[in-house]
């Protein structure tokens, strides 16, 4: 929690507009997950669906594949993924991630690499794009300077909080977030918390 408080204080000093955002956001949790395949699979399933849908799909999958490991995924029948509710593209993505780990990709070791290099290795896997890599490095690696600008909830929250209409897309949001370095990861958590208070529901990917 000290990490979050320090980061929030630094962000407000860098951008005084964020004082209001911090006040409105309420609790800004430092949500971290254990590095590894389980966390990556959870984030993969969260792509382009609501948090509630992602939680339901992942819950069904982990109930059928317990423990959820690269080996259990690679050995599973397609019916398991279909019953859990995974789309065909997500089936392919989770199988590609499982194959990469089974063939030697060290997801725990990625957390100790420079963020750009870790990001490059993750996005080399079919089905893992910028958003998924960003979220893995933010939540599993705890990197303080990652901002998933493709996230629609973040775009909505920043647009509302800073009265930007229409809401900023990925590239404008990345340019804006440059001013929040080296605390962009804390800024992402702040705006997800702001979105929660604004919309009454969680939007941050599960950690």
123-162 per-position pLDDT tens digit: 999 999 999 999 999 999 888 889 999 999 999 999 999 9
Mean pLDDT, residues 153-174 taken together: 97
Alpha-carbon span 40 to 38, nearest angstrom: 6
Return the pLDDT at 29. Answer: 85
Mean pLDDT, residues 176-201 taken together: 96
- CATH 1.20.120.790 applies to domain 37-139: no
Of residues 115 and 90, more confidence is placed in: 90
Band the pLDDT of 2: cuts 50, 70, 90. low
Band the pLDDT of 67: cuts 50, 70, 90. very high
Over the chain, what is the mean pLDDT? 94
Asked if 205 and 54 count as a contact pair (C-beta separation under 8 A), the reply is: yes
Of residues 177 and 1, more confidence is placed in: 177
Domain residue ranges in the chain: 16-31+146-199, 37-139
Q: Which fold has domain 16-31+146-199?
A: Endonuclease Iii, domain 2 (1.10.1670)
Alpha-carbon span 137 to 178, nearest angstrom: 18
Band the pLDDT of 85: cuts 50, 70, 90. very high
Mean pLDDT, residues 26-43 taken together: 92
Return the pLDDT at 204. Answer: 87
**Lowest-pLDDT choice from 36-40, 41-45, 138-142:** 138-142
Return the pLDDT at 207. Answer: 67
Alpha-carbon span 72 to 190, nearest angstrom: 36
Query: How many other CB atoms are there within 10 angstroms of residue 199's CB atom?
Result: 13
Q: Does residue 170 register a pLDDT over 80? A: yes
Q: How buried is residue 139: exposed, middle or buried, by Cβ count under 10 Å (0-12/13-18/19+)?
A: buried
């Amino acid at each position: 929690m000290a990490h979050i408080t320090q980061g929030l204080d630094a962000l407000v000093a860098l951008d005084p507009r964020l004082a209001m955002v911090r006040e409105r956001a309420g609790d800004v949790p430092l949500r971290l997950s254990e590095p590894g395949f389980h966390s990556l699979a959870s984030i993969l399933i969260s792509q382009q669906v609501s948090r509630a849908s992602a939680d339901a799909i992942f819950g069904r999958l982990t109930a059928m594949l317990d423990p959820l490991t690269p080996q259990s995924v690679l050995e599973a029948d397609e019916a398991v993924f279909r019953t859990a509710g995974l789309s065909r593209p997500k089936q392919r993505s989770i199988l590609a991630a499982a194959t990469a780990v089974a063939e030697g990709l060290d997801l725990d070791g990625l957390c100790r690499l420079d963020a750009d290099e870790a990001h490059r290795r993750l996005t080399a896997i079919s089905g893992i794009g910028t958003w998924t890599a960003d979220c893995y490095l933010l939540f599993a690696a705890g990197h303080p300077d990652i901002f998933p600008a493709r996230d629609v909830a973040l775009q909505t929250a920043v647009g509302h909080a800073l009265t930007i209409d229409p809401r900023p897309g990925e590239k404008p949001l990345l340019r804006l977030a440059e001013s929040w370095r080296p605390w962009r990861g804390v800024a992402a958590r702040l705006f997800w918390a702001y979105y929660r208070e604004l919309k009454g529901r969680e939007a941050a990917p599960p950690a």
